[in-house]
Chain A
Amino acid sequence: MLLIYCPYCEEERSELEFRHGGDAHIARPTNIADITDEEFAEFFFLRDNPKGLIFERWRHIHGCGRFFNAARDTVSDKFYASYKAGEPKPDLSAVHPATEKTVETYEATEGTAK
């Protein structure tokens, strides 16, 4: 279970208090009725689903109730930042190591087993 820092409550709380809200920093087009089907699919359905650093939304649903954003590594599940909605993506180049070096459970330990 994750420990998640809510930037509004300013404390770490258990994952049970939070609801995941999908990818962060996806802006709904202001001219939604005019965009093409391709653009709509891109906005609504297509996702990077990265193995490594992800920027995602969380909602502190059983706490303050507010939405905020976080940066997490999807291999280690470690959080690198949590920040208020509306704030820009933080620059994590200094703290987040390249994805190549992250350790993955079974591949790292058993990947070369025959």
Chain B
Amino acid sequence: MRKFSVFAVAREALRGHKGWEPQWVSPEPRKEYDVIIVGGGGHGLGAAYYLAKEHGITNVAVIEKGWLGGGNTGRNTTIIRSNYLYDESMDIYEHSLKLWEGLSQELNYNVMYSPRGVMMLSHNIHDRQSFKRHIHANRLHGIDNEWLTPEQAKDFCPPLDISATARYPINGAALQRRGGTARHDAVAWGYARAASDRGVHIIQNCEVKGIRRGPNGEVTGVETSRGFIGAKKIAVSASGHNSVIMSMADVRVPLHSVPLQALVSEPMKPIFPCVVMSNTVHAYISQSDKGELVIGAGTDQYNSYSQTGGLQIITHTLDAICELFPMFRRVKMMRQWGGITDNTPDRSAIQGVTPVPNLFVNCGWGTGGFKATPGSAHLFAHLIAKGEPHKLASGLTLDRFRTGRLIDEAAAAAVAH
């Protein structure tokens, strides 16, 4: 694979950009692979890359039913942070954040990771107590997170309305300066390119329709829309569709799939310097490099694979945005979409072995797994290669729903992202 560099860009500029090549190869599937990864989102592609790079396992295929990044990787609002409450969460999200910091160099692909700061607004006493608890927990864990007064919050994000008469008054904020955003599909493309370069097969437009099992119940391969493909190990990482795939191996998982929506505005000049989240009124917003406001809304209350979502959900979020940032009241929204997220009862992800030999699962990242992409992929590769979880992911097992060792981020954080 030809490297990207200043010189490559200059050379191609002079040659009329005729020398660029495809970034990954799309070969015919082999008869059998050592590892098949189901789902070509960031998590699956990243796991394939780390399998090849760190574990020397290159006879690997990533099987994707649509196109790379067509799932939640390309649909999310790209908020990255690591200031979660529990040790298990902090371990994995901070591992991920550290990988984000060097990812563009590692992949030789600009994922546009931008640590512009993620600020969470506190509106009431409960928010303040909860955020301060997070801040203390994070600092004990060596993770940056600080408390801001309303004035400091306004300094950090000038469009914010902190007046006492605001519809949603602000009594402070929690800020993680190392948090930020990244370019969503560059993450999928960057990992795909780097994995393909190490011999991984990227197979798009190929839907997994069944999982074949051997005499001892172990997996032997997948039935797909392009025929049977053998595999010694199968690793499932299909976000909203994880229940569907796992049911092909008769494994029930504690997930429910719901649409989550986002929308973007018309492009504007740079006006919004950071990421702001308000969990209490449910709105989060940042500005992309193209100038669009990127706004995340909530989930529908019922199970659905419809990839749309109700209109009342986004109007609720826009109501909140207009109150928090009155200057945006006349901005036009351009596009809206939904993605299907797989949610666990404790709102923490599951990564681990399953009751079926050689079948591994990475699921339940729900509404907040983009930020986890490099870390999750890295630890998932370890799990697939070694057959047991990495220390940093050892709390995320499927078994916790039997033992009761839940990681209750939902109740503690009340945070979607």
Indicate whether A9 reaches chain B with its CB closer than 8 angstroms.
no
Give every chain B residue within 8 A of A50 (Cβ-Cβ). Answer: 243, 303
Indicate whether A104 reaches chain B with its CB closer than 8 angstroms.
yes
Indicate whether A27 reaches chain B with its CB closer than 8 angstroms.
no
Give every chain A residue within 8 A of B255 (Cβ-Cβ). Answer: 47, 49
Residues 373-417 of B contacting A (Cβ, < 8 Å) = 401-404
Q: A46 CA to B257 CA in the complex, in Å?
A: 13
Indicate whether A84 reaches chain B with its CB closer than 8 angstroms.
no
B401–chain A nearest beta-carbon distance, Å: 4
From B65, B252, B305, B404, give the contact of A51 (CB < 8 A).
B305
Q: A76 CA to B311 CA in the complex, in Å?
A: 16
Interface size class of B (residues with CB under 8 A): 20 to 34
Q: Mark B348-371, 1 if CB is under 8 A from A, else 0.
A: 000000000000000000000000
Q: A107 CA to B153 CA in the complex, in Å?
A: 43
Residues 179-238 of B contacting A (Cβ, < 8 Å) = 204-205
Indicate whether A110 reaches chain B with its CB closer than 8 angstroms.
yes
Q: Are B256 and A47 in contact (CB under 8 A)?
A: yes
Q: Mark A84-114, 1 if CB is under 8 A from B, else 0.
A: 0000000000000000000011110011111
B46–chain A nearest beta-carbon distance, Å: 22
B409–chain A nearest beta-carbon distance, Å: 16
Decide: A75 near B252, CB < 8 A? Known: A15-B310, A48-B243, A111-B66: no
Give every chain A residue within 8 A of B312 (Cβ-Cβ). Answer: 1, 15-16
Using a CB–CB distance below 8 Å, which chain A residues touch chain B?
1-2, 15-16, 19-20, 22, 37-38, 40-42, 44-51, 54, 56, 72, 74-77, 104-107, 110-114
The 9 A-B residue pairs with the shortest CB-CB distance, nearest first, are A49-B243, A45-B254, A20-B301, A46-B252, A45-B401, A1-B310, A41-B402, A20-B302, A105-B307
21 CB contacts below 8 A, A to B, read A2-B302, A37-B402, A40-B402, A45-B345, A46-B254, A47-B255, A49-B243, A49-B256, A49-B303, A50-B243, A50-B303, A51-B305, A77-B304, A104-B305, A106-B66, A107-B65, A110-B66, A111-B205, A113-B67, A114-B67, A114-B204
